[in-house]
Amino acid sequence: MSAIKSRSAIAKSKAPPVKSAVKRTVAKSKTKAAEPSKEKNAVAARKGTAVSKKGASKTSFDPHKLREQKFAEVFGPVFPKGRALGAEGETLTPDQLAERGWSIMQFAPKAGRLSWLYVTNGLSALKSNATGKPTRIELVLHWRDRDLAPLRLLAEAVRAVVEGAVPATPGHLLSSSEGLNLEIELIRHCVTLDVDPLAGGIDLPGGTVTPLLLLGISDAEHELALKVRPELADGRHVLMEALRMGGIYPVSDPKRLCLTRRRDFHRLWENAFRAVRERKA
């Protein structure tokens, strides 16, 4: 009996404790379970960082793109899509655009507008040498055909506005006698500035931007505006009214017939003069 008991005691002493083994197994399983959760947390953190970076890029303010989007809502998509053009029709690189600060957008004809459209993008942020403040305007030019001439004309007009040769307000004349290169067939002498009725003011985070329309006129038309006696009426306003009545406004067409050579010229001029006088009264 004593021998049997001793063997039984030895067997019991060799058997591993059941509870301690279970505890170790559970601890290992918890450790393994914790490791994937740490990995998941790390992945989630990386995703969160990526999302936050993505969100930050969306909220970053690109005034050039924002102006383009605002004008596209009124005039249609830019053509070619997303192109920022220079004075010779070249596509500006991001570095070139950042260096000069402005470009030209081109819009193809669409329903309700048969003309091509050229609009500056960035002039509103450039400071005028005369005032030291941003001009807060963008220039708009309606042109009969797709051409390089409106790009060159806008480049000259931008230079004039920035240099302070002409105020950044409606109702002024840009003249080639002031050193501007506007030798473009009929449009050889000057262009007039007026508020573009199609766009109105454009609200941006930096403030409202006013689109000003450039309208090409001839030497003879320019002389007409200067001949009007200031005490009677503003000759520039009379000219613009006559161009509206004659169906010329707002498209600049270097191949059109000069207003003074039209058979209905005298009637148009008298009616325009009367309309301006009545508004003044």
In sequence order, the 6+-apart residues with CB closer than 8 A to the CB of 218 are: 186, 187, 188, 189, 258, 259, 260
Residue 29 and residue 98: Cα distance in Å, rounded? 59
| Mean pLDDT computed over 43-65 | 53
1 in a structural domain: no
Please determine, for residue 11, whether its predicted confidence score (pLDDT) is greater than 60. no
Position 193 scores a pLDDT of: 77
| Mean pLDDT computed over 32-48 | 49
For 66: left if phi > 0, alpha if psi spans -120 to 50, otherwise beta; the answer is: alpha
Position 10 scores a pLDDT of: 45
Instruction: Indicate the pLDDT class of residue 195, thresholds 50, 70 and 90.
Output: confident
Q: How far is CA 98 from CA 29, 64, 80, 120, 172, in A?
A: 59, 10, 20, 15, 30
Q: Quick: pLDDT tens for 247-269.
A: 998 999 988 999 999 999 999 99
24 in a structural domain: no
199 in a structural domain: yes
137 in a structural domain: yes
| Mean pLDDT computed over 193-207 | 72
Q: What is the mean pLDDT of the chain?
A: 79
35 in a structural domain: no
Tally of domains within the chain: 1
225 in a structural domain: no
Q: Quick: pLDDT tens for 96-112.
A: 999 999 999 999 999 88
156 in a structural domain: yes
Domain span including residue 164: 63-218
What number of CA atoms fall less than 13 Å from residue 264's CA on the CB side?
8
264 in a structural domain: no
Please determine, for residue 22, whether its predicted confidence score (pLDDT) is greater than 50. no
